[in-house]
Chain A
Amino acid sequence: MANMNMVQALNSAMDIMLERDPRVVVLGEDIGYFGGVFRCTDGLQRKYGEHRVLDTPIAEGGIVAAAIGMGVNGLKPVAEIQFADYIYPAFDQIVSELARLRYRTAGEFSAPVTIRTPCGGGIRGGQTHSQSPEGVFTHVCGIKVVMPSNPYDAKGLLISSIEDEDPVVFFEPKRLYNGPFDGDPHKPAVPWSTHPKGAVPDGYYKVPLSKAEVVRPGKDVTVLAYGTMVHVAEAAVRLAQVDAEIVDVRALAPLDTDTLCSSVCKTGRCVIVHEATRFSGFGAELAATVQEECFWHLEAPIARVTGWDTPYPHAFEWEYFPGPARIAAALTRVMEDR
């Protein structure tokens, strides 16, 4: 067991998988000699050589396409897209090829590619370094989509993703790389060593790709959140002083409907939180699922707290970010509804 931040946990997952499985290769822009702009692959090329940890040209479409070809030829590629905001040149390869290869060849061909990509705001990145496009990918059949909220899950989920036979898009909330951020930029940064989920086993372990986790039990209202928003939701619950049950959705597709809905059926109320824009966001899928499964248990309309439906503005990062105050207001509102 060691204290790790999320960068170290992800690095450890790739290190272990490169060690355990000779088919694993890691590729991406600046990830080899340099170790990645966020340092997630630091030291891996030195340890495993430049044939297993590959720097690539600046061509996201090329990175994913090459990863597909490698996957078809028996490797297990772990591709990094430097920022989720830069994934779109690879969109055709992901949607039309990676996601459907197994289906269209009736199982004869498939590519077990993992695509890691940092997402989310809070670092003054403006509209091209802050997006949360998970909903764009959950809408595509044939790829799994996950977003961890802490180092322990990050490592266990990444190992599961690399071992999985299906392609996985693995979103890393970059604001959480160095500590559990609760949505209040006034406070000094808190390191992961202060958080129980910063304790990470040194060796191999897995967190399943299809299981949500109740991170705070409660009886009044269920909060469905993932990534950075899990920690922001915890702060909001303290602020609103409600006995909320917080579920870290973690696996977005396929979705752990049982864990989510049994919580809502128990509490009778539901607040959904994500940083991404609201309209057609992943929260819409969560709300629809909860409505279908829990309608007769609901005491109040389902509430969504999300980023506004605008690009992420550089100057108004914290007005845009769905912080604790907005979530707390929603919690108070659903508790008032009778």
Chain B
Amino acid sequence: MAQRSRLHVPHPPARPGDRPDFSYVSLSPAGAVPRPDARAPAREVENLGRELVRVLDEEGRAVGSWNPHLDPEELQVALRHMLLTRLLDERMQRMQRQGRISFYMKSTGEEAVSVAQGMALQPGDMLFPSYRNQGLFIVRGLSLVDLMCQCLSNTRDMCRGRQMPIMYHWGAGNIFSISGNLATQFPQAVGWAMAAALKGEDHIAAAWIGEGASAEADFHHGMTFAAVYQAPVILNIVNNQWAISTFQGFAGGERRNFAEYGPGYGIPGIRVDGNDFLAVYGVTRWAAERARQSGGPTLIEHVTYRAGAHSTSDDPTRYRPKEEGASWPLGDPIARLKQHLIGLGEWSDERHAALEKQLEAHVLACWKEAAGFGTLTEGPTLDPATMFEDVFHEMPPHLVRQREELKHLAAAQPAKGSEEEKSLERHSPAVAKEG
């Protein structure tokens, strides 16, 4: 034993050039973890944070008590949503590379989390997404054109040009505004759920955070309030192993699972295979059932892998092995659901290829429509004078004056040209943080 203290610095298992090593990810066999009653006391389900809830086995069969027993038609819809999410991401990443949008963040490899949870919840449940939950918008039915127009900051942008790409919101679809700041939405979801309970409503709330952002105080505020008031809320930690360059050990993942935060607060914590559509769906149903029956909050840790870069500003080959994703032990969520459906006799490689082709064409058609409302490089453009609106409910006099000043200035100056936009693109190292 050392006779003095020494500062411990967490190390990821592998850096560029090393062999990928996921031996730290403890796995339970599919079907091995029994599903307790949804009203079980938190103390009696502490094993759920230590184990890993899985439904799909290595052969793609659905096994065990967490299987939600969905119809093949529902599973086909799920596959379609996940595939559409992935193809949207690929298209938007390419558009960023071409300078048509300023920034993008893909959710590749994590599609099952948003799609399964979006489908397992009810339309009136309020969602507080993080920035890698685009699948929620797709499940709830917001058109791709609307998502794309937001990324384009164009004349049909729901944010009216005020937000960076991917910071969507959708009031009519009960999806809250994505913030560029981390973890802020987590305790807000708890407050929304407290209000629902206070008003005697049936709807529940759900929030998502990355494992990295669980280090922020807001995560712990959310847990405390959820526990104290037994708020009807599902609190999700998407553990995709990486927060930009920082591996999950830096958020405290080295000696316990993130789901195990739950019991410390008196909240059930469930660790689930985040790339297993059926397991995520089953666990979410359990938590929703519990919340709707006054059973209070549930913390869910989704064990998954960020298959892509953090954002279009990031280069992960600087800090993790290139081939790491290929050795991720939980596979790919789309491939796994596809394999399951094929095993059921409800899908085939041919149908999959045809769907992929059809969705690619759909994404392209949506892009063309969205771009017609303006891109970074081509008009039409929003009126800059609109930037003064919505700062307050009613525009105060000083903003009215500033708006007039801007209009005078615009009248005195030549219109901006495409050269400016080309220059902008060169100067665009915007980086957002990862949770």
**Co-assembled chains A and B:** yes
Which of A30, A125, A318 is within 8 Å of B430, CB to CB? A125
Q: Say whether A128 contacts B180, CB under 8 Å.
A: yes
Query: A127: CB under 8 A from chain B?
Result: yes
Decide if A314 is an interface residue (CB 8 Å cutoff). Answer: yes
Does B164 contact A126, Cβ atoms closer than 8 Å? yes
CB of B387 closer than 8 Å to a CB of A:
yes
Does A57 contact B388, Cβ atoms closer than 8 Å? Answer: no
Whether, in the assembled complex, B15 has its beta carbon less than 8 Å from a beta carbon of chain A, the answer is yes
| B interface residue count range (under 10 / 10 to 19 / 20 to 34 / 35 or more) | 35 or more
Q: Does A185 contact B (CB under 8 A)?
A: yes
Report A-chain residues with C-beta under 8 Å of the C-beta of B103: 124
Interchain CA distance A329-B413 in the complex, whole Å: 12
Residues of A within 8 A of B163 (CB): 126-127, 314
- Cα-based distance from A185 to B434 in the complex (angstroms): 29
Q: Are A128 and B424 in contact (CB under 8 A)?
A: no
| Cβ-based interface call for B181 (8 A) | yes
Query: Which of B103, B391, B430 counts the most chain A CB atoms within 10 A?
Result: B430
Given A62-B215, A313-B161, A314-B153, verify A308-B180 contact (CB < 8 Å): no
Contact pattern, A 48-75, Cβ under 8 Å of B = 1, otherwise 0: 0011001111111110000000000000
A80-96 contact mask (Cβ, 8 Å, vs B): 1 or 0: 00110110110000000
For the complex, give the distance between the alpha carbons of A318 and B387 in Å.
Answer: 12
Q: Does A338 contact B (CB under 8 A)?
A: no
**Which segment, of A186-194, A199-207, A209-217, A293-301, faces chain B?**
A186-194
Asked whether A175 is an interface residue with its Cβ less than 8 Å from the other chain, the reply is yes
Q: Is B255 an interface residue (CB 8 A)?
A: no
Complex formed: what's the CA distance from A187 to B182 in Å? 35
Q: Does B265 contact A (CB under 8 A)?
A: no
Query: Quick check: which of B50-58, B67-75, B246-254, B277-285 contacts chain A, the rest being far away?
Result: B246-254
Is A144 on the interface with B (CB-CB < 8 A)? Answer: no
- In the complex, A127 Cα to B181 Cα: how many Å? 10
Contact: B215 with A57, CB < 8 Å? yes
Whole-angstrom CA separation of A174 from B9 in the bound complex: 29
CB-CB contacts below 8 Å: B178-211 with A: 179-182
Q: In the complex, A126→B167 CA distance in Å?
A: 10
Which of A175, A186, A310, A315 has the most chain B CB within a 10 Å cutoff? A315
Residues of B within 8 A of A125 (CB): 164, 430
B423 part of interface (Cβ distance < 8 Å) = yes
Query: Does A29 sit at the interface, judged by CB under 8 A?
Result: yes
Compute how far the CA of A291 lies from the CA of B172 in the bound complex, rounded to whole angstroms: 52
Q: Once the chains bind, are A316 and B427 in contact (CB under 8 Å)? A: no
Alpha-carbon distance between A86 and B9 when the two chains are bound, in angstroms: 24
Q: Whole-angstrom distance between the alpha carbons of A118 and B409 in the complex? A: 29
Determine if A189 and B433 form an interchain contact, defined as CB atoms under 8 angstroms apart: no
Q: Is the CB–CB distance between A30 and B246 below 8 Å?
A: yes
Closest residue of chain B to A51, judged by CB? B7
* A128 & B432 in contact (Cβ 8 Å cutoff): yes
Q: When the two chains form the complex, which single residue of A56, A85, A188, A311 contacts B391, counting CB atoms closer than 8 Å?
A: A311
Q: Is the CB of A33 within 8 A of B218?
A: no
| Contacting pair A309 B399 (CB below 8 A) | yes
* Residues of A close to B319: CB separation below 8 A: 33-34
Q: What are the residues of chain A within 8 A of B435 when measuring CB–CB?
A: 58
Say yes or no: B245 contacts A30, CB within 8 Å: yes
* Chain A residues whose C-beta falls within 8 Å of the C-beta of B126 in the assembled complex: none
Contact with A along B226-267 (1 / 0, CB 8 A): 000000000000000001111000111000000000000000
A83 CB, min distance to chain B CBs, angstroms: 8
Contacts of B252 in A (CB 8 A): 57
State A127–B160 Cα separation when bound (angstroms). Answer: 13
Cα(A151)–Cα(B242), bound, Å: 33
Shortest B398–chain A CB gap in Å is 6
A187:B423 contact, CB within 8 angstroms: yes
Which of A85, A127, A185 contacts B424, CB < 8 Å?
A185
User: Does chain A have a CB within 8 A of B416?
Assistant: yes
Does any Cβ of B come within 8 Å of A109's Cβ? no
Is residue B216 contacting chain A, with contact meaning CB distance below 8 A?
A: yes
Interface flag for B213 (CB, 8 Å): yes
In the complex, whether B13 has a CB less than 8 A from a CB of chain A is: no
Residues of A within 8 A of B429 (CB): 38, 123, 174
**Shortest beta-carbon distance, B177 to chain A, in Å?**
12
Residues of B near A278 (CB, < 8 A) are 402
Contact of B9 among A50, A58, A329 (CB under 8 A): A50
Task: Return chain B residues, CB-CB under 8 Å to A82.
Answer: 431, 433
Instruction: Say whether B4 faces chain A, with CB atoms less than 8 Å apart.
Output: no
**Chain B residue with minimal CB distance to A90?**
B217
Question: B62 → chain A, closest Cβ, in Å?
Answer: 36
Is the beta-carbon distance between A129 and B164 smaller than 8 angstroms?
Answer: yes
B141 interface hit (Cβ, 8 Å): no
Among A9-17, A224-232, A319-327, the stretch that binds chain B is A319-327
| Inter-chain contacts of A57 with B (CB < 8 A) | 212, 215, 246, 250-252
**Cβ–Cβ contact B384 & A319, under 8 A:** yes
Residue B318 at the chain A interface, CB threshold 8 Å: yes
A58 with B157: CB separation less than 8 A:
no
Judge whether A124 and B387 touch: CB under 8 Å: no
Q: A103 in the interface, Cβ–Cβ < 8 Å?
A: no
Query: Within 8 Å CB of B9, what residues of A?
Result: 50-51, 54-55
The reply to whether B420 and A316 form a contact with Cβ atoms under 8 Å apart is no
Interface residues as binary, B31-46 with A (CB distance below 8 Å gives 1, 0 otherwise): 0000000000000000
Query: Cβ of A123 and Cβ of B215 under 8 Å apart?
Result: no
8 Å CB contact of A314 from B102, B245, B417:
B102
Can you identify 30 A-B contacts, CB atoms within 8 angstroms?
A: A30-B246, A33-B15, A33-B319, A34-B245, A37-B313, A38-B431, A58-B215, A58-B434, A59-B215, A61-B216, A86-B433, A123-B428, A124-B424, A126-B162, A126-B167, A185-B424, A186-B416, A308-B388, A309-B402, A310-B387, A311-B391, A313-B387, A314-B159, A315-B153, A315-B382, A316-B161, A316-B384, A317-B424, A318-B420, A319-B410
B-binding residues in A (CB < 8 A) = 29-30, 33-34, 37-38, 50-51, 54-62, 82-83, 85-86, 88-89, 122-129, 174-175, 185-189, 278-279, 308-311, 313-320, 325-326, 329
A-B pairs, top 3 by smallest CB distance, nearest first, are A315-B161, A128-B180, A57-B215
8 additional contacts, CB 8 Å, given A127-B163, A175-B427, A313-B161? A56-B250, A89-B217, A124-B164, A124-B427, A186-B420, A315-B160, A325-B409, A329-B409
